[in-house]
Chain A
């Protein structure tokens, strides 16, 4: 059993809103609890999830989002302040449901040895520097992800 190769989960996280930050982090933390190994490649807006200035304040957009538990018409959603209001609402619902926070899931992922890889090319595009990212992440490009994903048993794009 010890000699056997672990099952592997490889995820690309391309979006930086609160609702899109959860699935990759929930899946990798569960994967490592199921004797898998796991890695996330953060690209474009997904980089916000590992951006030390932003990971703690990811937001939910009420615009073009008819699936909010309380539906907000687009014309109202476009008013300044509505994004932070929708985010506050979502966070209070999550709190009531006892959902783990993004920082907590990130800590669990890092403690469990999940590979967190920042996409160098999109970091350049978006002006994000190595020191803007949280500790414990590595930097790489498409080849890094593909090399990892080629031996994966589950591969997802979020």
Chain B
């Protein structure tokens, strides 16, 4: 886990495949306040490209990403 980023909400998308991780990320980001951080975890290898495209189109900012084994982690700040 990260030392420097304070996570406000955790979204477990492990085991899910397209389109569910993106759908759930978009629902989860609306449940936190602007400026807060969502940590999204996924095991879908397509999630890296998908999360970046989603971030680009919605404006929510991916602050950091990391992987541990098959698990990908995205730290996303709600921007609007």
Contact = CB atoms under 8 A, between A and B. Distances in A.
Interface of A: 1, 7, 26, 29-30, 33-36, 97-100, 105, 108
A99 B17 contact: yes
A34 B53 contact: yes
B58 A35 contact: yes
Given A35-B58, A100-B19, 18 more contacts: A1-B80, A7-B57, A26-B18, A26-B19, A33-B23, A33-B25, A33-B27, A33-B54, A34-B22, A34-B54, A34-B57, A34-B58, A36-B57, A97-B17, A98-B15, A98-B16, A98-B17, A108-B23
A29 B54 contact: no
Contacts of A98: 15-17
B48 interface: no
Majority SS of interface residues in chain B? helix
23 contacts: A1-B59, A7-B57, A26-B18, A26-B19, A29-B19, A29-B23, A30-B19, A30-B22, A30-B23, A33-B19, A33-B23, A33-B25, A33-B27, A33-B54, A34-B22, A34-B26, A35-B57, A36-B57, A97-B17, A98-B16, A99-B17, A100-B20, A108-B23
A30 B54 CA distance: 9
A67 B32 CA distance: 44
Majority SS of interface residues in chain A? loop
Nearest to B54: A34
Nearest to B29: A33
A98 B26 CA distance: 19
Nearest to B16: A98
A97 B27 CA distance: 22
Closest 10 CB pairs of A and B: A33-B26, A30-B19, A34-B57, A26-B19, A33-B23, A33-B22, A35-B58, A29-B19, A98-B15, A98-B17
Nearest to B43: A98
